[in-house]
Amino acid sequence: MERIKQALELARKERQKNAGIAVSSSAVKNKHKSIAEQNIQYTKTRSVEMPIRELREKRIIVDQQNSISDAYRLLRTQILQRLNEKNWNTLAITSPGNGAGKTLTAINLAISLAREVDNTVLLVDTNLRTPRIQNYFNIHAEYGLSDYLTKDVPLGDILIHPEGVPRFVVLPAGHAMSNSSEMLSSPKMNQLVEELKTRYPSRIVLFDLPPLLESSDALAFIPAVDASLVVVEEGKTQEQELRQAFEMLQNNEVIGTVLNKAYTRDRDYGSLDVKPGFMSQLINKLSKKSLPSWAK
């Protein structure tokens, strides 16, 4: 397995070299420069007002001081440690099947990362089969990623900044596409990922993907990014589904696994079914019986 990882890393570096996008030492140093020192203003990116009450009802962390936010801060810290170890800045978020809460996890993780003063964050809805992120924010976007890929609509006309969260930008998916797998693995999409990875050294890019077992979309796209995060639903994700998902990902970097929807009686959150203490659980916290031998 170690040989495979070394070969993948060597191939990735070779692709970067051939594309002329090798990161200089000065760029690496700039990555650690505090974004708070910069006066970030979104003059070209369209800003939209966030419906705070609706977002709170949808379990998005609009409040910075509660146990849900604390759980995502812990998850953020673990993610940042793993990304910084490898000098990575792109992360795909997926799940074995539907309903695990991967999109909500992607949104909340992105917001939590954006509140870290050293990072700007771009959240990309790469679920071209069933776009979801724009529904969470009530974004009525005229264009999306699908229009960039098929109609050459400039990114500047697509990117959206949700007001209230500095350093946070969303790239919505746009209209649903029947040939989503082909679009996600197309040369134009690969070029976009490379551009997003290298233009701003301090930016972290999160990609919300469809479930692994529902279509070929996620598996077609994941090799283009540095690593992936798998969201697992407690009490619903089956052992066989988890095994199959990890077998599909064994030739790609998996940064960890989030155990989601752990039930709680926390009065502060009433009907919420997310137990904060479980939000940051990674691979080694799951039952080893649920994982293939290479992932233990």
* Total length of the chain: 296
Q: What is the DSSP letter of 36?
A: G
Nearest alpha carbon to residue 194 among 236, 224, 231: 224
Q: What is the DSSP letter of 115?
A: T
Mean local confidence (pLDDT), 22-40 = 38
Q: What is the DSSP letter of 33?
A: S
Using CB atoms within 10 A of its CB, is residue 241 exposed (0-12), middle (13-18) or buried (19+)? buried
Could you read off the pLDDT of 233-267 as tens digits, one per residue? 877 777 788 888 888 888 889 888 888 766 554 43
Could you read off the pLDDT of 166-214 as tens digits, one per residue? 899 999 999 999 999 999 999 999 999 999 998 887 899 999 999 998 8
Q: Is the pLDDT of residue 61 over 70?
A: yes
Nearest alpha carbon to residue 50 among 167, 172, 157, 165: 165
Question: Strand, coil or helix: what is 125?
Answer: strand
Domain boundaries, the chain: 47-295
Count Cβ atoms below 10 Å from residue 160 Cβ, excluding itself. Answer: 22
pTM for the predicted model, two decimal places: 0.75
What CATH class does 47-295 carry?
A: alpha beta
